[in-house]
Structure 1
Amino acid sequence: MRAGYLCLSGETPPAIPVKLPARVKLRLTFLILCEAATCWRLSGISLSALDHDSLAFCSPHFYCYANSAEDKSLAVNRVAVKTAIQVQITPTQGEISVGESKFFLCEVVGDAKDIDWFSPSGEKILLSRPNISVSRSDESTSILTIYHANVDNAGIYKCLAKNADKEAQATVQVKIFRKSQKITFQSAPSPQEFNEGDNADIVCDVVSSPPPTIIWKHKGSKLQSAKDVRYKIMDNGHLLIHGIKKVDEGMYNCEARVMARGEIDFRTIKVIVNVLPTIRARKSEVNATADVGESALLACDADGFPEPTVTWAHNNVVLETGDKYSLNEDGSELVIKEVKKVDEGDYTCIAKNKAGEKTEEVSLNVFVLPNITYFNNETASEFDEEVTLTCEASGDPTPTISWRFGNRVFTEGEQVKMLEVWKSALIDVVTKQKAGGGLELLYAPHRVGNLVRKIRSLDGAAI
């Protein structure tokens, strides 16, 4: 009789093996001798039809068939082969938030009489353990379920498979963390506004356990201090931009990562850069005449971001449209109606936005036409040695007073002696003028006009 050898091995045994297809690569080593063997079968299936998976996931019984050509008889020898045990847990690691539930599947390859789970303390988990259950769905799988997890459930769990003197195990580390330990954005307001030139601290407060790594991005690019010294990621995760500019305005991504568990989250923050207003008066000084129904226009132009509002103030009082004042739509033009002397002074143009305010002064000068407020009419004869004529006048600026006789203007000197007092003038006639028969007063000059008033002499001629 011939001897048939079956070698189930990845190694070369000390005997000539039965040749198997190249696609059969077996993990375990067995050398089986069957006298007068002509073929081998595994549970009724020809070995040549088997692949690795078919052989690995069964509890094989090999049969040796001997078929004698002389007597056509069949000899059968049943050989039970014990395979090694392998254990695998899915998922391979577990992270659970407090209050959540999760299960782990323990799969066993090979014959296993017992499949048991053990807690992090090394204690075998019984079916009745609170908030943790173990169930055996079939001969090769066991499920560990953790319900409503709490921090005490964290640790390394072990699945142990045994069969006689053979055993195998696998472990899984379970991490339990509070909800606040997941990436949580406590404060990442949007938009965040800054004034141009400020050292802008863009707030992004993130917590997790372990602490997250913070990455800032702008326009799709990662911000790095090495490339632009104006940028700095602070220890608290905030982004600091030194001397922020209008061109820095836009959308920024605050991205938090926990590398240990591959967790990532982000917030998009809109950054607005406000620009302090600039302001310019069209005329720094405006002149007007009082009491003639005249209006005065004061104007200033402002710019900034956001667009500033413009108001006007006089003597610390904000002016509004009404009987006395009118403002155009954007407030840049102030009209003062029916100008009077009391309207004179400095007017403040105020431009204001979120970045702050700027002011510009515009002066209104109000002139008053000259007016003779007092004049005495004297009567004198040709025998009088002297006569005194008095004239008082008002106006702004203060008017000057001069006297004229005929076409002749009197000046301090030979014929008259002039004494000027504020808003008044006295003239002493020391030499009478007999020819022409009179004197004429001329009130002149004045910046805004002249006023002439005549008096009459004794003979009735206009003076």
Structure 2
Amino acid sequence: MAESMLILRMCSIMLVLGFSEAKMEIITSKPDVLLGENAMLLCKAGGEGDISWQKDGEDAEDYQVEKVDETSSKLFIRNAKMEDAGQYKCFCEFDSGHRDDKLYTIFVYERPSFGETPAYHEFLEGQDGLITCMVTGKPAVEVNWERDHEKLHSEAGRIRRLKDNSLQINNITRKDHGTYTCEAKIKDRPIFEKLNISISVNVPPTAKIHEEVKIATAGPETNVSLSCLVEGVPQPNIIWTVPDSSDESRYKYNSDKSELIISSVVRSDHGEYICTAKNKISESSAMIMLDVSEHPVAVLSQEKMEVEPGQSLSVSCNVSGHPMPALQWVRKTNNDHLLTVDAGGGRVRMEDGYVLVIDNVTPSDGGLYSCMAISPAGNASTDFSLQTWPGKASQVSGTPGPTSVHFTLGASLVDGGSPITHFTLQWKTGRENNWQEKVIQSTDPLVITDLNPYTTYSVRFAPKTHLGQGGFSEELTVRTQGIPGEPDSPVLVASEGKVEGNMFSIPLMQLDNGDSPIIHYTVRYRLNKVDEDWREKDLPSNSTVINLHDLQYKSDYHMEVLAVNSYGSSSSAKLNFNVPQPVAKMNKGGMGKGAVACIVIVIFLVLLIAVDATCCYTNHCGMLMFLAVKLFGQKVPGMKTVEEGDGTSNG
């Protein structure tokens, strides 16, 4: 029993060892065999035994099988055909009596082919595009479309795949331009081919411009850029058509000729510039009008004239430019204002549209006149200088000092159009006939110096230029002031002077003491005769009246009064007066004024009666005749009444 169990255990071990040695495998270089190629299957039994082959359940042909050794066998597929595809099984009858097999499937395929499928298509933008993919291959081939490595799944809409695997793009745009990939794959196998198909979308050219009219002003520094925006596929070529009068040697283009640069623009560059964009589809043009204007220029017949006052002048101005500028004459004033010269009949006017005329030139006409050329292209001006004698100063005032007079101008001087270089200052006292004068620079203070204090002067001045001297200002009467610190002269009012007998008195007033109180007044007087000696006396500082005694009757006197303080004496206040012959006085016992009046009345009545009596008896008239008629009714012979008249009647 124990031996039987041992034998059974050994058999089991041997059986297990036999199964492990009988492990089988089929080895081949590739499971997928291309049609027409050769393939080999190697069967390794893993132990010795009898090996055989079957295909799809039937024994393989002997010429296909080749025994390698007791443990392996080969099966050859030569010039593979589609029917060679199938399941191949390797059987092994092991020497141990064990049987085993191994199954392996072989795929035979014909590689996908795209035949004469076009790899390039051109379409016109807006058309419907059809992209074909003609695929052959075995077994069944699946077709997929890709763009930019992404599959196209659209079955409807603008881009869709048709049943014959073609790709249709409706209303194609330039965005559809690019590479499309047609992938042909053997169904359920990792066998595929791809064909890249290029799609080009052609677009007719368009030429556009930003400005239909380009405005430029001719000049050496002026450069004009004409731009043409061009689109189209393929990229259009650009051709420029320019005016015949333009000089193309001054042209520059950018790389694609979409920009034309004209340097140093001149008037002859004016005209139409046509940009034409052309590709194989069509051509398109756009036109730019270059409007070249010329900056206006003004030219004078003469730029400066020196004219004496009272004369006349004329200056012509010619202007040019494009468009033709308008001409205008203006007067430039000192404060930079412009006064337009009208084309009227005035003394200063413009004639014939370009000639400046000034009649009877005055100092105020001097200065700058500008001829202005005005146009849309800009403005230009040229100045004409009129120079004449300076004018007489007006609104002049004078401020006196102790020894000087300072002129102040209330209005600007009229220089006549050229700078004032000098001033002629003149002065004289009331007793002088001739003027004293001094010429100073125009930059010097307008001051007359070296005058005497407390003196009345007539002063004036005149401006002077390189052409000549203008008129003198109106005479000013000024009185110089006293020396600083000294008192002003006393004030004597002649109308307040009184003569009583041989005595003369007059009030004394002091307006300004100076910088120190009055110490005393010095009064001196004499007969107003040649070589008469002065009589002099001092009065206290508080004196208000001057009294002179013991004067000669029927005599003219001259008196001078000076005020004195610690700084000095003032100028003298002068006065002339007369002491008349005294009138004899009546005695107290004589007739009074009433008696004299009565005597005069009596004398008057006597004379009146005498005259009336003479009239009565001589000419039958007068008061006595009137009374006689009224009282006595007596009619004097020869007398005619009013009622009787002269015998005439108005009737």
State the TM-score bracket (shorter-chain normalisation): 0.3 to 0.5
Higher strand share: 1
| Higher RCO by CA contacts (8 Å cutoff, separation 6 or greater) | 1
> Could you state the TM-score of these two structures normalised by the residue count of structure 1?
0.45
> What TM-score, normalized by structure 2, do the two folds share?
0.34
Which structure's CA Rg is the greater one? Answer: 2
